[in-house]
A and B are shown apart, each in its own frame.
Chain A
């Protein structure tokens, strides 16, 4: 029981410190803004550990963080193999192909307002559909290996990105386009120098939404058939064997991969759209 009380005590102390920090001058500094959520995260982990140990929670219901960390350390090669199969071979190629196809499609229909007006409502609707349901069909078409996972990802990311690029290409103002016309800029020059840069905030918004969808697609597709490795395969088999520590280890890898992927896109966005009001500090 003492482990539980220790953890609760730590939680309360961390929370009190956070309240203090949030009220102090530190809240305005970068360090303070990073420290508070970090402290909160650590406090949650400690509380989790304390709860599991103090209440003797069975490991088949919830393993302690320390057990999960030990499992990650022990199973690194397996986790890496799964990661390579699902993320490097499934999610990322699918994401790149889907984004590229959306980009080409958006440029292709850019000159036809008629097609755009037809495609935007449909694209918006399809973007809201549970496209994940296509996973079993695509696995049937492309086989069990990474090709089918990449295909699922392509289909899932295509429409959200397409809709955002088309909306972004319309976002430059009339005045700005007129100015380009007075300079005698051609269609491609206007596209390259004005409309694409103006569309970048929208495009990155679409890429961010798609980054989480890509991981979901790659993992779900593995539930319908995969080689004997891959994160989705690992999760569904280990759940069947009640090896929850391995499941949590894989989830930790997935969470880390998802956050890093999202973070990378945010970094590139900051670099590309430094001029946008939301990026000025």
Chain B
């Protein structure tokens, strides 16, 4: 309770601020309409008007909630208008990119820890790669992969998501694989363990806490990458595409609903990864 109360208070504050902002931003339109009709509106009527506009500048929370509810539960999940359907498309892309990013990050980390030359050559470039705004590459990856004969947008989306999510995994795995200290390494040497056995029995288990800590960051990054991959050049499926459609057709409610669906998806993904992390920790005998 002592943890929930402050969070709820801040949330309530945000909702109040949001309503106030909605009134303030939507009021202009109401006054304009009244002026055009040659009538004047009282403050009370104006506030009521701002709550129910069809294309508000800033939709108040209950309108977004209603649109979100309609999108999530108002239609069959296979319908093109269902947010569940679009969220699933985005989820699929996120998981592909996440898997690809993990595989690439772990393999590269293994090479970096094993070979000094790889460490010195690649590591600085891995850091630099993250300072490059990947979204600059997104439209190009999509066009090039279609020219290479890959129809559909799954592969380009996965590449963008993987590019964003491999880095946290790489950094944590390098740290984790190097975390066993000299004593432990020496002990395995006295057992006559080879390099591979040392890797499997000491380095890999030692790296697991680092690995799982990086997954939460990686899955969030992967979702951002997937949505960015859905934004440019005319995608029709996925939450990113919904935002684009809402923007192009001037339907703010669609945009806001898609945005909140994305937020819910992000929250669920982080929860699931946190749950897997706790399972793995318990399985490996870490207290807590």
Please list the residues of chain A having a beta carbon within 8 angstroms of any beta carbon in chain B: 15, 18-19, 21-23, 27, 33, 36-37, 39-41, 58, 60-62, 114-119, 121-122, 125, 128-130, 132-137, 139-141, 211-212, 215-216, 219-220, 223-224, 231-232, 235-236, 239-240, 242, 244, 247-248, 250-251, 254-255, 258-259, 261-262
Contact sample, A vs B, 10 pairs, CB 8 Å cutoff: A15-B117, A36-B120, A39-B121, A129-B220, A132-B231, A137-B259, A216-B134, A224-B247, A250-B136, A251-B136
The digit string for B1-23, where 1 denotes a CB below 8 A from any CB of A, is: 00101111111001000000000
- Contact at A122–B116, with CB atoms within 8 Å? no
Report the bound CA distance from A9 to B270 in whole Å.
Answer: 46
Contact of A244 among B14, B135, B140, B250 (CB under 8 A): B140
Decide if B144 touches A62 in the complex (CB within 8 Å).
yes
How far apart sit A235 and B134, CA to CA, in the bound complex (Å)? 12
In the complex the two chains form, is B227's CB within 8 Å of A114's CB? no
Contacts of B13-57 to chain A: CB distance below 8 A: 14, 57
A37-B121, A132-B224, A216-B135 given; 18 more Cβ-contact pairs under 8 Å: A19-B117, A27-B120, A36-B121, A39-B121, A40-B121, A60-B147, A118-B7, A122-B14, A128-B217, A132-B135, A132-B227, A135-B231, A136-B247, A137-B255, A140-B247, A140-B250, A231-B136, A236-B139
Could you say which interface size class chain B belongs to? Answer: 35 or more
Question: A244 to B146, alpha carbons, bound, how many Å?
Answer: 14
The smallest beta-carbon distance between B178 and chain A, in angstroms, is 16
Q: Which residues of B contact A125 (CB under 8 A)?
A: 267, 270
Q: Does B223 contact A (CB under 8 A)?
A: yes
Which of chain A's residues has its CB closest to B10's CB?
A: A118
Interface-facing stretch out of B101-109, B122-130, B196-204:
B122-130
Most chain A beta-carbon contacts within 10 A, residue among B3, B122, B144, B267? B144
For the complex, is B93 an interface residue (Cβ under 8 Å from A)?
no
Q: Which residues between 211 and 239 of chain B lie within 8 Å of chain A, taking CB atoms?
A: 216-217, 220, 223-224, 227-228, 231-233, 239
Residues of chain A with a CB closer than 8 A to B136's CB: 219, 231-232, 235, 250-251, 254
**Residues in A whose Cβ lies below 8 Å from that of B140:** 235, 239, 244, 247-248, 251
Question: Interface on chain A toward B: helix, strand, loop, or mixed SS?
Answer: helix
A247 contact set on B, CB distance < 8 A: 139-140
B61 CB–A CB distance under 8 Å: no
A239 — which chain B residues lie within 8 A by C-beta?
139-140, 143, 233
Are A128 and B133 in contact, with the CB atoms below 8 A?
Answer: no
Query: What CA separation (Å) do A220 and B138 show in the bound complex?
Result: 10
Question: A18, B139: Cβ atoms under 8 Å?
Answer: no
Interface 0/1 of B241-255, CB less than 8 Å to A: 001101100101001
- B interface residues (Cβ-Cβ under 8 A, vs A): 3, 5-11, 14, 57, 115-117, 119-125, 128, 130-137, 139-140, 143-144, 147-148, 216-217, 220, 223-224, 227-228, 231-233, 239-240, 243-244, 246-247, 250, 252, 255-256, 258-259, 262-263, 266-267, 270
Q: Closest CB of chain A to B191's CB: distance in Å?
A: 27
Nearest 7 pairs of A and B residues by beta carbon: A118-B6, A136-B247, A118-B10, A40-B121, A258-B131, A128-B220, A22-B117
B59's nearest neighbour on chain A, judged by CB, is: A137
Alpha-carbon separation in the docked complex, A52 to B136 (Å): 22
Looking across the interface, which residue of chain A has its beta carbon closest to that of B148?
Answer: A61
Contacts of B228 in A (CB 8 A): 130, 132, 216, 220
* B259 close to A134 (CB less than 8 A): yes
- Centre residue among B6, B122, B256 by max chain A CB count within 10 A: B6
Q: Are A114 and B6 in touch, CB under 8 angstroms?
A: yes
A22 cross-chain contacts in B, Cβ below 8 A: 116-117, 119-121
B125→A40 contact, CB < 8 A:
yes
A211-B131, A216-B135, A259-B128 known; A139 vs B223 contact (CB < 8 Å): no
